[in-house]
Amino acid sequence: MSILEVSNLSLSFGGVKALQDVSFRVPENTVTTIIGPNGAGKTSLFNCISGFYKPQQGTIRYEGRELSSGIKPPKRAALGLARTFQNIALFRGMTVLDNIKLGAHVHMKSGLLGSMFYFGAVRREEMEVRREVEHRIIDFLEIDHIRRQSVASLSYGLQKRVELARALAMRPKVLMLDEPVAGMNREEKEDMARFILDIREEWGVTVLMVEHDMGMVMDISDHIAVLNFGQVITEGEPADVQNNPEVIKAYLGNSDIDSLRKKLNPEGEAA
Amino acid sequence: MRIGDAKQTYEADEAIWTSSTQKFWFGLLMLILLLFPFMVDSYLLYLGCLVGIAVISATGLNILTGFTGLISLGQAGFMGVGAYTVAWLSLNTGLPFPVTLLLAGLAAAAVGILVGLPSLRVKGLYLAIATLAASVFLHFIFAEWESVTGGMGGLSLEPAHLFGLTFQSDFRMYFIIVPLAVLMVFAARNVLRTRVGRAFIAIRDRDISAEILGINLLRYKLMSFALSSFYAGVAGGLFAYFYRVVTPESFPLSMSIFYLAAVIVGGMGNLLGGILGAAFMTLVPEALKLLTAALTPFYPNAPVFMSPMLEIIFGALIVGFLIFEPHGLAEIWHRIRRFFRLWPFRN
């Protein structure tokens, strides 16, 4: 069953066609990856799904209901669509802990008046969130040593991890990750890959990601959709996608398929 | 002396004071504030009341500008709304002061929400101009709506009263103003460490992420405007009871700039900054006047030279602080605290 289904989506900015008739599906409880060369429209697609862009045509169905353009980003967040950004979008003036707590915003109720007194229900709710964040997220992502630090002082890899933590605090059903391992070293990448797999298995969350690191994509994805010039070339399991001549051409624009197939398949290269 | 701290519960870790040292110093400060009016002359008492009023209003503006990132030049206008509400209510209804002050805050909050409406579309300097327009408009209403505001002549009002007690002296007003200032700073602290306050800071730091986390930008921006102008309204109401006369000229545009400067000099996005900034902006001009008086016996011409210089020296001090202490006066305090945190074991 598909938790998210994109059908015939088209988006253009003036004369630039960012997405043309894009259709693909995200099966429930999988790691689904969208790959494609730079400028293929991957981030535009993410922005359509999270509600920042309004596609001119097509539909996005989430859990069987259509996400019309009237459903704004905050509402989509409340429905269980969480995401991280390609360029880290944390709140730099706050501590790690406060950033993560903000993820739980939609699940909290405290209003302005109650907050002023910090009493009874407001206090209990704050403590519940703190406990949940500590037990489920900070322990899980191994960031307990930095919880009091300001986000601006952290390394790039840790900032990415905090952004993931914030998205998890939203208790998502679908977690959208825009280039989760870009700019990371090998060790950080391995950690992130492990977290993504654990999120799917232990939390039962469907992961939809955009990523360029082919090694990781092929290793952890269950389902892959390939985008080029705003169009879906193919979708399927990693092995099928890897050997698809169209994909190889899109990436490398060359007809010498055998040598390029090796580049797309790092394991084959190692063997 | 303290050698470290270990917490057993999340409650203890989330508390405002995380150590008994902090509680001790705060208790001492409260004691000093309580004894202050019994120890000082009428001039210092008068200044104490002014600082209290300024702290309330500056804290309000700090919530809006420092924590939510929305620049406003409307603070004096909102204070005016509060002051006129109190003046009108006390002339026409005879309600006791806690009620009139609450209504003053609510009236200012309602106006603040209206003024804040453009904030979804315009940011930064453009929002400053929009709030500037609102404050000019409010000034116009104060001056022209004679049946309610008394026009240019303004309104005079009776002293604040409660249960037959009247508060006509500075000494008595002090015991309204200062406890209220303490309470309101605490309320602000509570808001800022819970869900609503985090949403404010999120909007300031990166509004696109705030939206993706399910924070409704318009709702929270307006909430920040409402809260900020509530504080301004209460401060304005106290101002009315303190001077017992309210005219359109009581709340000039320069007063909005005064509060913006207080928040910037004190430290934006830092509650202590708003408090220190308000005290600095209120007290430094007075201190300069005292300095002039102290110099007069030695240099008989001091007043002649100094009086035109006062504003320039004041301005230079502000510029100096901005250059040498860009994070505001609060940063100086934090440095001192860091130094003594584990003193004498490490410093």
A56 and A185 share a domain? Answer: yes
User: What is the residue extent of each domain of chain B?
Assistant: 40-341
A&B contacts, CB < 8 Å: 102
Q: What is the mean pLDDT of residues A156-169?
A: 91
Environment class of A103 (CB within 10 Å of its CB; exposed 0-12, middle 13-18, buried 19+) = buried
| Residue at A87 is within a domain | no
Chain B hits for A125, CB-CB cut-off 8 Å, are: 195
pLDDT band at A271 (very low <50, low <70, confident <90, very high): very low
> So what's the ipTM on this one?
0.82
Task: Report d(CA B106, CA B91) in Å as an integer.
Answer: 18
pLDDT higher than 80, residue B17? no
| Residue at A107 is within a domain | yes
| Residue at A128 is within a domain | yes
For the stretch B168-177, pLDDT in tens is 888 888 998 9
Q: Do A126 and B213 touch (CB under 8 A)?
A: no
Residue of chain B whose alpha carbon sits nearest to that of A110: B195
Q: pLDDT at position A270, please?
A: 45
CATH number at residue A22: 3.40.50.300
Domain that holds residue A119: 94-166
Task: Report d(CA A44, CA B296) in Å as an integer.
Answer: 72
Class of domain B40-341: mainly alpha
pLDDT higher than 80, residue A196? yes
Q: How many CA atoms lie within 13 A of B25 on its CB side?
A: 8
Task: Report d(CA A75, CA B219) in Å as an integer.
Answer: 13
Q: Choose the closest CB to A105 out of B204, B205, B213.
A: B213
Point out the domain boundary residue: A166, A186, A204: A166
Task: Report d(CA B31, CA B47) in Å as an integer.
Answer: 18
The answer to whether the beta carbons of residues A112 and B223 sit under 8 Å apart is yes
A193 and A74 share a domain? Answer: yes
Residue with tokens 């309602």: B110
Query: For residue A50, which of A157, A176, A140 has the smallest C-alpha distance?
Result: A176
Bond preceding residue B308 cis, omega within 30 of 0? no
For the stretch B107-155, pLDDT in tens is 999 999 999 888 878 888 888 899 999 999 999 999 888 887 887 778 8
| Residue at A85 is within a domain | no
For the stretch A112-157, pLDDT in tens is 888 888 888 888 888 888 888 888 899 999 998 898 889 989 888 8
A207 and A236 share a domain? Answer: yes
| Residue at A102 is within a domain | yes
Pull the structure tokens for residue B81: 């709304």
Point out the domain boundary residue: A116, A146, A166: A166
A109 and A215 share a domain? Answer: no
HEC-encoded secondary structure of A156-180: HHHHHHHHHHHHHCCCCCEEEEECC
A151 and A266 share a domain? Answer: no
Q: Do A74 and B187 touch (CB under 8 A)?
A: no
Q: In Å, what is the CA distance from B211 to each residue of A51, A79, A98, B68? A: 10, 13, 16, 14
For the stretch B72-111, pLDDT in tens is 999 999 999 999 999 999 888 888 889 999 999 999 999 9
Pull the structure tokens for residue B228: 């900020």
Query: For residue A36, which of A254, A269, A224 has the smallest C-alpha distance?
Result: A224
A76 and A179 share a domain? Answer: yes
The number of folded domains in chain A is: 2
A203 and A148 share a domain? Answer: no
Q: Choose the closest CB to A105 out of B11, B215, B269.
A: B215
A193 and A131 share a domain? Answer: no
Q: Provide the whole-model pTM.
A: 0.86
A73 and A190 share a domain? Answer: yes
Q: Which residues of B278-306 are buried (b: 16+ CB within 10 A; e: fewer)?
A: bbbbbbbeeebeeebeeeeeeeeebeeeb
Q: What is the mean pLDDT of residues B282-289?
A: 86
| Residue at A86 is within a domain | no
Q: pLDDT at position A261, please?
A: 67
Point out the domain boundary residue: A127, A142, A166: A166
Is B313 near chain A, with CB under 8 Å?
no
pLDDT higher than 50, residue A62? yes
| Residue at A211 is within a domain | yes
The answer to whether the beta carbons of residues A215 and A247 sit under 8 Å apart is no
Q: pLDDT at position A269, please?
A: 45
A182 and A162 share a domain? Answer: no
Q: pLDDT at position A52, please?
A: 87
Q: pLDDT at position B5, please?
A: 67
